[in-house]
Each structure stands twice: as C-alpha cells, then as structure tokens.
Amino acid sequence: MKLYSIIQKRAISGSLRPTQDNHRNYIKKVCVAMAIFSFALTANAQEEPIDSLEGEKVVLDEVLVQAVRVTKDFPITFSDLDKVELAPRNLGQDVPILMNFMPAVVTTSDAGAGVGYTSIRVRGSDATRVNVTINGIPYNDAESHGSFWVNMPDFASSTQSLQLQRGVGTSTNGAGAFGASLNMLTDAFSEEAYAQISSSVGSFSTLRNNVKFSTGLLNEHFEFSGRLSRVTSDGYVDRASSELDGYFLQGVYNDDNTLVKALLFGGHEITYQAWNGITAGQLRDNRTYNSAGEYTDNNGNTQYYDNEVDNYKQDHSQLHWYETWNSAWNTHLAVHYTRGRGFFEQFKEDDDFSTYGLEPITVNGNLVETTDLIRRRWLDNDFYGAIFSATYKNDGLELILGGGYNEYKGDHFGEIIWAEYAGNTEIRDRYYDDTSTKTDLNFYTKANYQLTDQWSLFGDLQYRGVTYEANGEDTGLVDDSFNFFNPKAGLTFDLNRNNNFYFSYARANREPNRNDYESGSPKPEKLNDFELGWRYVSPSFQLNTNVYYMRYKDQLVLTGELNDVGAPLRSNVGDSYRLGLEIDANVSISNSFKWRPNIALSDNRNLDYFFERDGELQDLGNTNIAYSPKLIAGNIITYSPNQDFQVSLLSKFVGKQYMGNIDSDNSVLDSYTQTDFNVQYTINTNSFVKSIVLSGLVNNIFDADIVSNGYFYTFDDDYSNPGTITTIEGAGYYPQAGINFLVGATVNF
C-alpha cells in the first residue's frame, strides 16, 4: 500500500468509461464520411481558379515571432489560432483547453473543469515534448521540460495568436520539439485607446474577472497597455479549488522602422492538490473523491488538511527590439528574465523519521520513529537569457540567422513547518537542499529559396549545446553536456494557384529532463521526422492533409508511473515510431454556416519491447506507445447570420489508449466523446460604452462520463508467495466534469 500511495499522484491523458460498440462504429463511420466529403468538396472547389495561397499581410507585431513561425510557403505542418477564434470560448479556462479542438490534440484537466493544472498532448506526445515559446522566448521549464499554464492565469486574454507546428517543426529556442512546437504572440499594440471589463461565472463556483486597457498611440509613437485578472473555482473534484491572479503590462515604442516592446506578465496560483486520482471502484461510486490532505485524527475520524495546496508565483520580463534596416534586412533582439518561487504543502500521517534524516526519540518511555507532520517542498529558480535573429528577403530568397543563450538556476529544498514529534529539528531546517544549473546555447540558419515559379527549397541547420548539473537525492550527482546538430530540409511545389504540396525531413535531438535521471543514466533521444503534405485553398474551402513518419531512437516514453512528487516517469525504449495521417478543413457551406472538421489517424509503436514480468524478461514484440490514441477527431460547426451573433457546436472524439507500454488490459483507457455548445452575441451602442459582448459555453452537453487522465504502474510482489515473484499491476483515473457551463459579459469602452 505504501508504494501505491507514493505513486498515486498527477498523471497523463486518457479516458476510462467504455463506449458501446455501436457508438464506436458510428464515430468511425462519421470520420470516414467526413474525409470522403472533404475530398469531394475539393474536387468541386478546384473549378474555382482563385489564388488564395498568397500570404496575408503581416502586422508589425508579428515580426517578433517571424523567426520561429512559418507560412504556407514552408514545407511544415502547422495550424493557426487567433484572438477572434479564441474569444467566444475564452471565459476563464486555460490555454490548453481552448486548443482542444485543434488537429491531433488531446487536453487534460486535473480538477476536471479546465481551471487549475491543465496540459496538452500532440500526436501522443506529452507537454514535456511540446516546445513552447512566447514571443520567441522559451517557456518550458528548463529542468522538467513541462509547461505550467496555471502560472499564467487568463493568459489567453493577452494572446494575439498562436501557431502549433506538429512534428519537429522549424528551429526555435528552448528544448527540442519531439511532438510539436507552440509559438504564442502576445497582444499587438493598439493605435486607438480602449478599456475593457470582462466577467464570467459558471459551474463549480467558477468566476473570472479581468480589466484591460490601452492608451492608444501617444504622440504617434508610444503605447501602454495592460490586464489584471483573477480566476477562482472550486473545481469538479472535491476541494480541487483554484485561486489564480494574473497580470500583463506592456510598453511600446513604434516608428516606421523600429519597434521596441517591454513586457511584464505572470501570476500567482494557489491550487488545492488534485493529483492523486481515484481507483476504478471509486470512479463507479464516488467520481469526485479526492484523497489529497486526508488523515485520521486522534478520535479515529477522517479529516482533510485545509492547506494541501500548490502555491507558486512566476514573473516574466521581456524586452524586444525589432529594426528594419532597409528593404531587405531586419533584425530582432530580445532579452528576458523569469523569476519563479513557491512550494506545495502536504500533511503526512505517520511518516518515518528516516525520511527526513531524523533520529528516533523516546517519549514517555516509548521509542518514537514516526510522526504526523506538515512539510513544504520548495522550488526557487531564475531563468534568463537573450535571443536574436536577422532576416534577409530579396529576389526569392528568405534567409534567417538566429540563436540564443539561456541559463537556468534552481534551488530545490524541503522544510518541516509542523510536526507532532519534532525530534532534534530546528526552525527552518531543510531536510533536503540541492541546486541545479542548466545552460542552453543554440545557433540556426534557415533559408527558403524560390527555385522557379512552382518550386521552392527549404533548409534549416541548428547547433545546440546543453550543460546540466544537479545534485539531488532523486537525480544523483549529474554533470552532463550535450552537443546536438539538427538539420532540416524540404521542398514545396505550387501546382497552381489553389494547390500546394510539400515534403520535408527534420532531425531532432533532445536531452533527458530532471526526472529521467531517477531511473539511472538516461540517454538523449533522437528523432527523424518525415512529412508529406497537400494544401488546397479557395475562398470557400481550405484543406490541409499530411502523412508523417516519425522514427525515434532511444525515445524517452512515458511508463505510466509517477515519482513521489507526482511527476510522470519515462524510460529509453530503443527503437520506436509514429506513423499517421492528418486532415483538417475549413468549409464555408453558406454565408452563415461554416464547418471545420479534422481527423488524425496514427499507429504508434515500440519496436521489440522487453519487459520483466513475474521475474522473467519477456520480449513483447511491437507494443503501443503509451498515451497515443490511434484516432482523434474534432469538429466545429458555426452558424453566424450576421457579424454580431454566432452559435457553435464543437465535438471531440479520442480513441482507445494504453497508459503503459506493455499492452496490458489493465492499462487501457477507452475512447470518449465530448460535445460543447458555444454562443456569442454583440450589442453595439453609440455611446460611452462601445459594445457589450455576451458569451455562453456549455461543456459536455450530453453529460458523458469522461475520464481524460490516468496512470498505470507495476511492481514485483515477492511476499505473498515466498520463492516466487508476481508482477502486480494497478491504475488510477482522473474524471472530468459532466455537463457544466460558463457565461460571461465583456463591456468595451
């Protein structure tokens, strides 16, 4: 039981409730019909010789991420999402939840309602393998590689646009992308002054309030803007509350050739822990049960510690300078600094003295070796650096030279803030205290050259040097250096004004994260990514379809298990691959109806996977990679009779997954379907109040029993039957809310 309680923490995406066979067959038929219908529409739309492959005009702010973003001229698989598309559903839920209906994406929520700890998967790769940049600055935690959106509450309200590049993508700053790259651009400067007040309220006492403002351009050159936000929620899961405060401040200087932006943003989150998950039996009988903070008092009554929370502050500062030197050259230079500090607090019942380096004591003649206590496990870190890029465009050549240097310093330490029996401790004693440092240096050169009117050639070379030092009890003494060379190349062929084809190859190398060192001496992982795609664009129909083959060497795949602080564990698996087909479309059925379907079919395999079961090493052959569904389908249907009113029906289907890599029936997460309803109505006025925007969102309108998170573990039991070893398997699950709603109003001045 002790092992079970240690690993019963935060986990990964999946679902549990089995869907009936006829429901599965129906979903599959719908997906096939969708694909056939998309191709049929394409054949129709090709009759319209409209040139829509020309790139849109790039606003000045977008040059800040020009070095890491791509357009349809590049042989890269990507999807864009802008502020207009985000707005109707932006009612307080985190960024990953708002991205849920993008192709090949699966999202998760620990508290079950999209507020608090949330995460994202792309092509079966978890958040540690999705490279995230904000205005080109790395956001992933340098040690864990994770992206913790809870540290930036309501950040979508300050997001101008985002681009999700699936696969390796182009060279960018930060850790290598092994599933996708997410490039986010914060709010553009506004030429006109405005003020905005926004509030939303919903199920589980969820409440979001924010205020935004801009001075507009002052003296035709300066602008100041900002946002203050507060989001609170009780969560769907018992006691899974969130108190989130966020801010965003920006100062801009702009003239014909220069753009300077200074940004300060961040937040403070206090979330009651909802990491433990529940058993299959609890899922049937008490879906909202949360064991975090549970203990037994002296009278034998079950109690819950009221401050079993995660409490963390994170502040970001960025300074960007963009300069246009002439018609061919422009440059971008940025410096950044991120300060993070916080802890998670836990009540531990009958914990061993030895865990904290304490000696047993004698109380009333009895030897005491355990105690009830409250501990805090701290992280205090600094992350800073600089990035640069220079872009040359002339005579069919676009050349980008760029790179960056970033440094991370982190202190990890633990404190006992109360104990029933304190032993020989002193105030502010640290029962562990370790430090880590990491440096990341990279240089890249990208070129896209128009060979002819139809053919263009893309090349991308990156060098990345990483050093990592740590001395924790979990990691052991680490002093590693890595030197990676990551080449990429591709071709784009414009068949005509509507059709564009591309092929690309990309090589990626990636260092282990902090948790990987717990399992011994992990190897860096390698990936060869092949992408073949076709894009069709006309005024009423756009289609993107691509086939990919991602071949890994020493891939660090999720085992399904968790360590003692709830972080997912990974291990090198030798050879593995992901093979898939992705299709997404945007169809204007009429002036009022739009349809945006997408489908992702994939096969994800570990090759010649070995596993020790019942004391014997077994060759399991080719097994499924954990948390990699073979089918993900999304669908958005929008009715908008005029520019002031729109209604959308959104659905998501996620196929069966395994939570481990041994194809155990005990690790299966069955498929699930989620359907949401969204409405937005704008009231325009001719007064001091310019407009009032009313929004409503009903999540999971069919009240499906969705489980999107889970974990799986194994351990060897040699006590039950002396002389034999039996492998025990277990699993935990994270239920999501049934039907729930959010409604909001935004007043624009």
Mean pLDDT per 10-residue interval, the chain, length 749 residues? 32 35 41 39 36 45 80 93 94 95 95 94 92 95 92 95 94 86 94 95 97 95 96 96 97 93 97 92 94 92 95 97 93 97 95 90 90 95 96 93 96 94 83 94 96 95 95 87 96 95 96 84 91 96 97 82 68 90 96 96 93 85 94 97 96 95 91 96 92 97 92 78 79 94 96
Q: What pLDDT does 18 receive?
A: 35
Can you spell out the DSSP letters for 67-102?
A: TT---TTSS--EEEEEHHHHGGG-SS--HHHHTTTS
The answer to whether 90 touches 162, Cβ cutoff 8 Å, is no
Closest CA to 140 of 340, 344, 321, 320: 340
Distances (CA, A) of 671 to 28, 655, 699: 12, 4, 18
Which residue carries 């070095």 as its tokens? Answer: 67
Note whether 224 and 214 are within 8 A (CB): yes
Give the CATH fold of the 2-748 domain. Answer: Maltoporin; Chain A (2.40.170)
Contact (Cβ atoms closer than 8 angstroms) between residue 263 and residue 252: no
pLDDT of residue 724: 77
Q: What does DSSP assign to residue 285?
A: H
Provide the pLDDT for residue 33: 40
The per-residue pLDDT for 235 is 96
pLDDT at 718: 63
CB-based contact 241:234 (threshold 8 Å): yes
Residues 577 and 527: beta-carbon distance below 8 Å: no
Amino acid at 283: L
Residue 624 has a pLDDT of 95
Contacts of 37 (CB under 8 A, 6+ apart): none
* Separation of alpha carbons 84 and 90, rounded Å: 10
DSSP string, 513-574: -GGGGGGSSPPPEEEEEEEEEEEEE-SSEEEEEEEEEEEEES-EEEEEEE-TTSPEEEEE-S
Instruction: Choose among 407, 402, 391, 501: nearest CA to 461.
Output: 402
The CA angle 187-192-196, to the nearest 5 degrees, is: 65
Rounded CA separation 242/267 (Å): 13
- For residue 104, count other CB atoms closer than 10 A to its CB: 28
Q: Which amino acid is at 473?
A: E
**Sequence-distant (≥ 6) Cβ neighbours of residue 410 within 8 angstroms:** 142, 143, 379, 380, 381, 382, 435, 436, 437
Q: Could you tell me which of 519, 558, 513, 512 has the C-alpha nearest to residue 710?
A: 558
Which helix (H) or strand (E) segment is 283 a member of? helix 280-285
